[in-house]
A and B are shown apart, each in its own frame.
Chain A
Amino acid sequence: MVRLAALLLIFPLPLTSAAQAGVEGAGDPRAGLAAAAPTAVVRGGSYVPLYSPESGAVTVEPFRMDRYPVTRGDFVAFVASNPRWRRSQVPGVFADSRYLSDWSGDLEPGDRLDAPVTHVSWFAARAYCTWVGKRLPRVDEWEFAARADETRTDAMGDRSHKARILQLYTQRRTPLPPVGSTFRNLYGIHDMHGLAWEWVLDFNTVTAADDSRGGDRKDGQLYCAAGADGATDREDYAAFLRYAFRSTLQGTTTSAVLGFRCAADLE
């Protein structure tokens, strides 16, 4: 509940603007195919986030998450059904000028339909997930699921796995290859590391001042040695890269290396 209140504080705009933005909403029959994207169950548990109050553990309730990032093919179906999310229609308050800029037209993503969609804003990603009857994963959900390797729910205590993840992050791959091209973890989820960065619902929690959870980290502290201060695992460089990336984001930001996947509560 504290958490929800915090989200309301951080995102007054999106919560009131989703309707204005013309999302058809869950239940749109045209969303059926995309909604059927395979999900995996992530049994909950607790983990210690990179930045945590009193370095404590955070509990994550069980949830579902898409096995793959949303693809360009998926997203073209969304913009076809939701004209207001087309490149030529989207208002500047919902996406910056580079939104879907790697497409050749409103409904023309070109080739690589099975590659992750990128150049999408948080607002657009959120609208997509709503359209398919899901939501964006929360940062704790994403981080929790990302700790698994092929056989362990939490492989991050293993230095060699840490090194492997960091190596995946610093491998350059342009254009982005199809989804499913990096390893499948214990839950059956692919591409958590080394394909594209992914939006999370509360992407700016860690750097937002006055937030209930990360309030001790003020905006902009993720630079130089200050980035290490208060971190729970100073050797998890991959996590630093993720948090640093998120710290640069605004809801309208789009980037060639930033996509998303959806999640859902467990019924």
Chain B
Amino acid sequence: MRQFDTKSKAIWTVVGAIGALLAVSALAFSLSSARSGATVAYADPIPSVTSLPEVRGEEYAVLTAPPHVPDPITRNHATRVIVELETIEQDMELAPGVTYNMWTFGGTVPGSFIRVREGDLVEFRLRNRHDSTVPHNIDLHAVSGPGGGAKASLTMPGHETVFEFRALHPGLYVYHCATAPVGLHVANGMYGLILVEPREGMKPVDREYYVMQSEFYTDSGFNEQGHHPFSMERALAENPSYVLFNGHTEALMGENALGANVGETIRLFVGNGGPNLASSFHVIGAVLDNVYPEGGTVANHNVQTTLVPAGGSAITEFRVNVPGDLILVDHSIFRAFNKGALGTIAVSGEDKLGIFSGQLDNRPYDPPTAHQH
């Protein structure tokens, strides 16, 4: 016993010495940080939910189909927002002449865009259309609660489920179906975006658009005509036949191009439904003035390509300074060139030669000759 005590005393002495050493070095570190003016790392507080804002009144959420976004929220208080969303299974095109049995939120891929305000109490009513073949549910990444609402919203065909959640965190969030087998429900098109506007609102821009990337695993090659089922083999290999913006090769091409005028500001709400691939989101011909990576609240500036993870998002803002087509791509470039990940912003207006000239000349030049060196 005595021997043990001695030993333990010795151990505690050593521990104490190490502790003191650590404390001193930590102090030195913080002093040096303070001296250089740097912020102390990992010092952000974790907010606590002490009081929830008072909910005044109620309203039905206006849902929009891609590429459209509901109007900004002008309210300056929290309210009860009722969201009514219906899951619909239907054959839809992936490309001209190519169909697939899509499972959708609201009849589109990606699903309806939902816009609420930080602090809102959202009453979510999920309806599964009577002619659906399988149950569906919804996991909204904006929800603080088990399954993001998935368990509370499991809905069989012909039924409606209701649950409530408080939009505690501002940001741009993915929602998706999470019914087993979740991979199949997501692969079949069940995802979309919900924006929780910060209490102080968002800076007005000239145009807002909704763009969501996702990939499809058909048992066929790209653009192979006809109706094609899901391929488990391709999904497991994470080798899609299609990587698309807004669910169709032509969703943002030709006459479906997003429009803008020279000098306008654009805000793209960019999501990635996956199910598997992260996106190297890039706008050919523009530098992204502001990017809120991962849909969070800290802005990055002057960004060329931003990574949008599967099940994640980014808010991008930029001014279109010259006329012409800007091309949206997944810069993991074979996906853009060979699998469909292309979109367009058609910018019209006057040339701005001081910013971009276009081609000024095109002339031959003489090859080097032998005596010149």
Interfacial residues, chain A to chain B (CB-CB below 8 A): 98, 159, 162-163, 166-167, 169-172, 174, 220, 222-228, 235, 237, 240-241, 243-245, 247-249, 253-257
Complex: how many Å from CA A172 to CA B92? 12
Given A240-B180, A256-B131, A256-B158: A220 touches B101 (CB 8 Å cut-off): no
- The answer to whether B232 and A172 have CB atoms under 8 Å apart is no
Cross-interface CB contact of A162 among B139, B155, B232, cutoff 8 Å: B232
Contacts of B104 in A (CB 8 A): none
Any A CB within 8 A of the CB of B145: no
Complex: how many Å from CA A220 to CA B178? 11
Question: Which residue of chain B is the closest to A250 with respect to CB atoms?
Answer: B156
**Closest 5 CB pairs between A and B?**
A227-B180, A240-B181, A248-B156, A224-B178, A220-B151
Complex: how many Å from CA A222 to CA B179? 6
Chain B 143-157, CB-CB to A under 8 Å as 1, else 0, gives 000010011001111
- The answer to whether A248 and B154 have CB atoms under 8 Å apart is yes
Cross-interface CB contact of B179 among A167, A223, A254, A256, cutoff 8 Å: A223
Contact residues, B226-254 vs A (CB, 8 A): 229-233, 236
Cross-interface CB contact of A170 among B133, B137, B156, B236, cutoff 8 Å: B133
- The answer to whether B157 and A257 have CB atoms under 8 Å apart is yes
Given A223-B180, A237-B181: A244 touches B229 (CB 8 Å cut-off): no
Complex: how many Å from CA A248 to CA B151? 10
**A52 vs chain B, min Cβ distance (A):** 16
Contacts of A226 in B (CB 8 A): 147
Complex: how many Å from CA A241 to CA B225? 28
- The answer to whether B178 and A223 have CB atoms under 8 Å apart is yes
- The answer to whether A167 and B182 have CB atoms under 8 Å apart is no
Complex: how many Å from CA A248 to CA B156? 6
Interface size range on B against A? 35 or more
Contacts of A228 in B (CB 8 A): 180-181
Residue in B89, B91, B188, B232 whose Cβ sees the most chain A Cβ within 10 Å:
B232
Complex: how many Å from CA A256 to CA B155? 14
Complex: how many Å from CA A245 to CA B181? 11
A-B contacts, 16 of them at CB < 8 A, read A98-B158, A162-B232, A163-B232, A163-B233, A169-B133, A170-B101, A170-B133, A170-B230, A171-B229, A172-B131, A222-B180, A223-B179, A227-B182, A249-B156, A253-B156, A257-B157
Complex: how many Å from CA A18 to CA B233? 47
Question: Which residue of chain A is the closest to B90 with respect to CB atoms?
Answer: A172
Any A CB within 8 A of the CB of B132: yes
- The answer to whether A256 and B180 have CB atoms under 8 Å apart is no
Given A223-B182, A224-B182: A255 touches B158 (CB 8 Å cut-off): yes
Question: Which residue of chain B is the closest to A239 with respect to CB atoms?
Answer: B181
Contacts of B180 in A (CB 8 A): 222-224, 227-228, 240-241, 243-244
Contacts of A249 in B (CB 8 A): 156
Interfacial residues, chain B to chain A (CB-CB below 8 A): 89-91, 101, 130-135, 137, 139, 147, 150-151, 154-159, 178-184, 188, 219, 229-233, 236
**A115 vs chain B, min Cβ distance (A):** 14
Complex: how many Å from CA A162 to CA B133? 18
- The answer to whether B178 and A170 have CB atoms under 8 Å apart is no
Given A223-B178, A240-B181: A247 touches B236 (CB 8 Å cut-off): no
- The answer to whether B155 and A257 have CB atoms under 8 Å apart is no
Contacts of A257 in B (CB 8 A): 131-133, 157
A237-B184, A241-B180, A248-B159 given; 20 more Cβ-contact pairs under 8 Å: A166-B232, A169-B134, A170-B133, A170-B188, A172-B89, A172-B131, A172-B133, A174-B131, A220-B151, A223-B137, A223-B179, A223-B182, A224-B147, A224-B182, A227-B180, A227-B182, A240-B180, A240-B181, A256-B158, A257-B157
Cross-interface CB contact of A163 among B131, B179, B231, cutoff 8 Å: B231
Contacts of B181 in A (CB 8 A): 227-228, 237, 240-241, 244
**A239 vs chain B, min Cβ distance (A):** 9
Question: Which residue of chain A is the closest to B146 with respect to CB atoms?
Answer: A220
Question: Which residue of chain B is the closest to A98 with respect to CB atoms?
Answer: B158
- The answer to whether A223 and B101 have CB atoms under 8 Å apart is no
Cross-interface CB contact of B139 among A98, A163, A223, A240, cutoff 8 Å: A223
Cross-interface CB contact of B157 among A240, A244, A255, cutoff 8 Å: A255
Contacts of A174 in B (CB 8 A): 131
Question: Which residue of chain A is the closest to B161 with respect to CB atoms?
Answer: A248
Contacts of A223 in B (CB 8 A): 137, 139, 147, 150-151, 154, 178-180, 182
Question: Which residue of chain A is the closest to B139 with respect to CB atoms?
Answer: A224
Residue in B133, B155, B182 whose Cβ sees the most chain A Cβ within 10 Å:
B133
